[in-house]
Amino acid sequence: MVFLLLFLEFFKTGLFAIGGGMATLPFLNELANKYPWFTVDDLSDMIAVSESTPGPIGVNMATYAGYTTGFNELGVLGGILGAFVATLGLVTPSVIIILIVAKILKKFQDSKLVKDAFYTLRPAVTALIAVAGISIINVSLLNWNVYNTSGNIIDLFNIVAIIMFLVILCMQLFLKKVKLHPIVYIVAAAIVGIIFKM
């Protein structure tokens, strides 16, 4: 039963997340609040991992959630099955839509209506990515739990995270002219994250 639920929920996420990995974040955030498969903090960590490893966020999160849920149900084999089912659920809508669009697009690729339809999707994708960005800021830069307990506005802000964010932003702007390989930024961010988590 849980495997069918994993498939269906991630199928819905894959079906409505138009625009790729970041566009899945609002749907994944909703799943984190609805099911015990992963938390919003897990989602935040997965974003960091996904941005520094191959594979889109949605697929990585589906695989993780499926594995942990299946593992809790049936052990290692259940984990592997859960990872497969959840990932299959997420990618199946994309495969179906790509096959349909490829078939239709061959006939209508020069149609003004088709071009206008794709152009119209851009604001929706932008909105989904903006919502994802806001949810990441909410999780990583703000401490709602501490603020709700104390009521002190200063406690709302994760000062260390905000300072790290500003330092990294300034460094990135400063080093814009210096051509560093992206792996340098990834390794530096991982080291800083490990140091501040200890």
Residue 198 has pLDDT above 60, yes or no: no
**Confidence class of residue 55 from pLDDT cuts 50, 70 and 90?**
low
Rg, Å, the chain Cα set? 20
Higher-confidence residue: 59 or 84?
84
pLDDT tens string 89-114: 988 988 888 888 787 777 776 778 77
Compute CA distances 117 → 110, 121, 123, 190, whole Å: 12, 7, 11, 40
Sign, Cα dihedral of 157, 163, 164, 168: positive
Compute CA distances 66 → 15, 52, 110, 149, whole Å: 18, 21, 41, 33
Residues facing residue 157 across a β-bridge: 142
What local confidence, expressed as pLDDT, does residue 122 receive? Answer: 82
pLDDT tens string 122-156: 888 788 778 777 877 877 788 877 788 888 888 88
Read off the DSSP letter of residue 142. B
**Confidence class of residue 25 from pLDDT cuts 50, 70 and 90?**
confident
**Confidence class of residue 37 from pLDDT cuts 50, 70 and 90?**
confident
Q: Which of 40, 38, 37 is nearest to 26 (CA)?
A: 40
In the chain, where the domains are located = 2-111, 144-197
What local confidence, expressed as pLDDT, does residue 197 receive? Answer: 67
What local confidence, expressed as pLDDT, does residue 156 receive? Answer: 85
pLDDT tens string 161-175: 888 888 878 877 877
C-alpha span between 183 and 42 (Å, rounded) = 23
